[in-house]
Amino acid sequence: PNTNLEKVEFVGLKTIKEEYARKLVELKDGQCIKKTYIDHSRTLLQQSGHFSSTAPIIPEYVKPNGMVPIGFNITERKPRSVKAGIAYDTDLGLGANFGWEHRNFFGSGEQIKTGLFGNQKEQVIDLSYTKPFFKQDNQKLILASKYENRKTKAFLTNQAKVSATVERQLTPKWTAGLGGSVLQARVTSFN
């Protein structure tokens, strides 16, 4: 007889919402259970970047109705990270960069990234927001903005760009996206 999934359970969730974790595993209540489905779900949890540990919990006995709950004992990774660095270029001089990332801003895998880079001739500020499972389980929304200030011997450029893109996962290897952007630039010549 077939063994079917009663429900998916998660042990150890602290900041990540259970609804988001359920979407990650792609297991549906009532579906036939196979070890490959559980292994694939564990891989999906690990690939999300939110968990440092994802051990499956499989009961030893099946209920008389053929149903079994499947669980994952998980440990969440820290959702925030910071990076900083210093660089030197003979053309651009001494520069520094700083970045901050939050991989679970509202509890459903929303990602916010900021980046600052600067040296004597250019300064760049980046900000992006990514929302997984946007309107559909195979889509994500990406909002981004960038400000850039660049100075050369001939001109000074100030530009700002704002963009919005919706990406859809068509197959495991193919993704399509549709979006738009607005760019405003001001160039001042020194001649």
Q: What is the pLDDT of residue 21?
A: 93
Q: What is the pLDDT of residue 191?
A: 67
Q: Which residue has the tokens 């990514």?
A: 130
- Contacts with 40 (C-beta within 8 Å, 6 or more apart), sequence order: 26
Q: Is 166 exposed, middle or buried (0-12, 13-18, 19+ CB in 10 A)?
A: middle
Sign of CA pseudo-dihedral 41, 43, 44, 50: positive
Pick from 111, 37, 99, 107: nearest CA to 76 = 107
What is the per-residue burial (b if ≥16 Cβ within 10 Å, else e) of 128-158?
A: bbbbbbbeeeebbbbebebebeeeeeeeeee
Angle formed at CA 37 by CA 132 and CA 49, multiple of 5 degrees? 35
Q: pLDDT tens digits, the chain, 191 residues: what are they?
A: 678 899 999 999 999 999 999 999 988 888 988 889 999 999 999 999 999 999 999 888 888 888 899 999 999 999 999 999 998 888 878 999 999 999 999 999 999 999 999 998 899 999 999 999 999 999 999 999 999 999 888 888 999 999 999 999 999 899 999 999 999 999 888 76
Residue 92's φ and ψ, nearest 5 degrees, are -105, -15
Give the predicted TM-score (pTM) of the model.
0.83
Q: How far apart are CA 177 and CA 81, in angstroms?
A: 27
Residue 43's φ and ψ, nearest 5 degrees, are -60, -45
